[in-house]
Amino acid sequence: MNMYPPFNIVGAPQEIPGGPAVEFNAAFLSLVVSGRAIFAIAKVVLFMNLFMGGATSLLEVFIKTFIIYMWSIFVGAVFPRFRPDQSVRFFLGWPAAFGVLAVVLPLL
């Protein structure tokens, strides 16, 4: 969801510095980093609205967003970076079962 380990296979960090961190000065770099942070939070809030029933108060938004974001940080801290075959095996396990269950339950 947020390109942190273990699912950052495509955008894995390299050892050679390059990109915005090298080419921009402090003002432009702060805009790039701030934009990345805002985009990450926007993705988590959208995920919360779509899959966790939304929220009725601001406190509920903060709590649900915090839980989702901390879960992704926890998974990234516990697991190393997966190889593509390990990611496919992971996503064909419990996440696929939950997806099928989410499709079947409304039909009952």
Q: pTM of the full predicted structure?
A: 0.58
What percent of the chain lies above the pLDDT cut of 90?
A: 25
- Tell me what pLDDT residue 7 has: 58
- Tell me what pLDDT residue 8 has: 59
What are the tokens at 51? 């899959």
The tally of CA atoms less than 13 A away on the side-chain side of residue 81 is 9
Look over the chain and give the mean of its residue pLDDT values, rounded to a whole number: 80
For 17-62, what is each residue's pLDDT tens digit? 666 566 667 777 787 778 888 988 899 999 999 988 888 999 999 9
Distances (CA, A) of 54 to 13, 60, 99: 33, 9, 19
Label residue 1 exposed, middle or buried (CB < 10 Å: 0-12, 13-18, 19+). Answer: middle
The helix (H) or strand (E) run that includes residue 67 is helix 58-78
Residue 83 scores a pLDDT above 80: no
- Tell me what pLDDT residue 4 has: 58
- Tell me what pLDDT residue 62 has: 94
- Tell me what pLDDT residue 3 has: 57
Question: pLDDT confidence of 81, banded at 50, 70, 90?
Answer: confident
Phi, psi angles (nearest 5°) of residue 27: -65, -45
